[in-house]
Structure 1
Amino acid sequence: MRQQLIEELIDYKAFNEQELKDKELMIQLLKEEPDIFLRSNLSHHFTASAWVVNERKDKVLMAYHNLYDSWAWLGGHADGEEELLHVALKEVQEESGLTHIKALSPAIFSIEILVVEGHMKKGSYVSSHLHLNVTYLIEASETEELQIKEDENSELKWFSLEEGIKASSEPWIRENIYRKLNEKLTHLS
């Protein structure tokens, strides 16, 4: 699976300079780091996110993330799983309660290296580190009942694409990631 991800990243067409630079570093780290899919790698490890859109692709599902105190996309740590699409789908189900979801493509939708500031989790300090994040485009029905995951989020809500950007209180993520995801979504149509 690791070699497959390396090949997918090599073939991935970077959307902008951020993706180009992040792609190079991700490939390098995949080749060098044996524990890159585990949180035991305290400085950097893989995560998978989902940009969850409705059938018309004019709304995005976001969770009010307790740790970041912000509206955010859904996703989580690879925790040893090298099939990142599987991680993204699993995280959407766990964080939203949605069961009728589908990847609009098995291909990577976006890549980004994200800085995670030091924080407390379950009573222990987690040092600042990097998430080597791969994002997939996932479709869900906005009529399906949502269920919050209380240990991670306190609310779930469908937003228009622009409202989803504005809802985030993380300026860099809002302007450089969520705006990029929406722009990429419009290029699919």
Structure 2
Amino acid sequence: MNLLEELKKYKPYNEQEERDKEVMIKFIDTFDDVLTRNNEIAHFTASSWVLNKEGTKVLMIYHNIYDSWSWTGGHTDGEEDLLNVALREVKEETGIKNIKPIKEDIFSIETITVDGHIKNGKYVSSHLHMNVTYLLQASENEELFVKPDENSGVMWVDIDKSIDKSNEPWMKGIYIKLNEKLER
């Protein structure tokens, strides 16, 4: 199934997701390069809410650009299988090798603003990430490592403390939503 089909079948959780679903579908219908950073207005990304086997902890990284604890995720770089992107990003950013989807369907969607910043010595203009989030599971016994060009910390956080780890107001709201969806 392609991304557009996945988005069309996705059942929004709240008003934010209803609106973002509409915007994402219009975006795909309007632009050809939605999966690459060549689209400097917006492009798709994939993130993960990674739980331990008991569902009591979430895996978080200390993101260097945002200077905050956050979920894992990244750019699709042209790949349409966003679940695969999410799995790859967890492995690259944390060192976790054995990770699996709790469900293969989209868990959450959100449009995220990205302020202008310097990456690899180059200025990146402000833009949007059309983000698709997946719910994944891994063992907290696996060895973790930092990916210094992207993060400076990796750790398992008690799920009820995950919101307080972030210092980004918009992301706190997203993490609250993810945790609420887990309780359903």
- The answer on 1:104 being equivalent to 2:98 is no
Report Cα offsets for 1:5-55 as digits up to 9, x if no partner: 212111111000000000000011111210000001001000000000000
Q: Which runs of 4+ in 1 moved over 2 A?
A: none
Q: 2:35 aligns with which of 37, 50, 73?
A: 37
TM-score normalised according to structure 1 size: 0.96
Partner amino acid for 1:38?
T
Q: 2 CA distance for matches of 1:17 and 1:160?
A: 27
Letter in 1 for 2:33: D
SS state of the match for residue 134, structure 1?
Answer: strand
Within the candidate set 129, 141, 144, 1:143 is matched to 141
Q: Which amino acid aligns with 1:173?
A: M
**Could you tell me how far 1:121 is from its partner in structure 2?**
0.7
What is the Cα deviation at residue 184 of structure 1? 0.6
Question: What is the CA deviation profile of residues 133-159 of structure 1, one whole-angstrom value per residue up to 9, with x for unaligned ones?
Answer: 000001000111101101001110111
2:7 alignment partner AA: L
The normalised TM-score by structure 2 is 0.98
Q: Identity rate of aligned residues, in percent?
A: 57
1:108-127, Cα deviation, whole Å (9 max, x unpaired):
00000000000011111100
Q: How many residues align?
A: 184
Equivalent residues in 2 for 1:25-174, closer than 5 Å: 25-174=23-172
Letter in 2 for 1:138: L
1:182 and 2:179 correspond? yes
Distance 2:3 2:78 in 1: 14
**CA separation in 1, counterparts of 2:30 and 2:170?**
28
For residues 60-91 of structure 1, the C-alpha deviation after alignment (integer angstroms, 9 at most, x for no partner) is 00000011000000000000001100000000
Query: Residue type of the partner of 1:35?
Result: D
SS of the equivalent of 2:25 reads helix
Gaps of 5+ in 2: none
Amino acid at match of 1:178: Y
